[in-house]
Amino acid sequence: MLWRGARGTGDEEFCHEAVSHGPQGMWLSRFLHSLAATLCMMLEVMVGVAGDMTAPRIGSGDLLLVSAGPGHFGTVEALAKVARMADARVACFTSRQGLDIPFADLTLQVPAQTMADSHDDDQSPSSAPVPSILPMGSSYEIGLWVALDCACILLQEKLRLSDDDMSVRHTNLE
């Protein structure tokens, strides 16, 4: 997810979202392309997805958001290292509490079961931060969606924009 140049301040920041693996990557991408892109556009914040043809080059002052629900994905780490080499900041979402993610400047926990969490023979979750009856890692993806939506609320507050300020930027091409 990316942001740059909020409200014409000349503050050239861009926030890149690295697509993670599987469903959590899909959630990040869908969130960015739908809700986040819409909300950030109304907040006058540019957004994009790493790997998309329209994603700009990452650089100093930019922020890369990544998700490593179970704790590590090599591709996520590789993208984060590219961002760090370009003097960008990296924030990583994970389900693991207290996990040291060396490539991240900030680690944000979404305490929920991921697909990687094992199950005992009796089918009860054994290693999930918050066990769930939901299949696979869908509770983590749902939690990630809520966390990213809340981040937009915090950004709206930081930019001191009202819902009315945002609604005048809503598309009229529906």
Q: What is the DSSP string of 9-24?
A: ------EEE---SHHH
Give the 3-state secondary structure of 94-149.
Answer: ECCCCCCCCCCCEEEECCCCCCCCCECCCCCECCCCCCCCCCCCHHHHHHHHHHHH
Q: Residue 10 has what pLDDT?
A: 45
CATH code for the domain of 150: 3.40.50.10490
Direct distance between the N- and C-terminal alpha carbons of the chain, in angstroms, rounded to an integer: 24
The domain tally of the chain equals 1
Q: Residue 30 has what pLDDT?
A: 63
The token pair that represents 167 in the structure block: 């609604």
Q: Residue 119 has what pLDDT?
A: 54
Q: What is the DSSP string of 154-172?
A: HHHHHTT--HHHHHTTS-S
| 152 domain residue, yes or no | yes
The token pair that represents 69 in the structure block: 């629900």
Q: Residue 84 has what pLDDT?
A: 94
- Domain span at 160: 6-114+131-164
| 48 domain residue, yes or no | yes
Burial category of 64 from C-beta neighbours within 10 Å (exposed 0-12, middle 13-18, buried 19 and up): buried
Q: Residue 36 has what pLDDT?
A: 65
| 157 domain residue, yes or no | yes
| 126 domain residue, yes or no | no
Tens of pLDDT, residue by residue, the chain (174 residues):
443 334 444 444 445 555 455 666 666 666 655 666 677 778 777 776 777 777 778 888 888 888 888 877 888 889 899 999 999 999 898 888 888 888 899 999 988 888 777 554 444 444 566 778 887 778 888 888 888 888 888 888 988 989 999 888 887 887
Backbone angles phi, psi at 36, to 5 degrees: -65, -45
Q: Residue 117 has what pLDDT?
A: 76
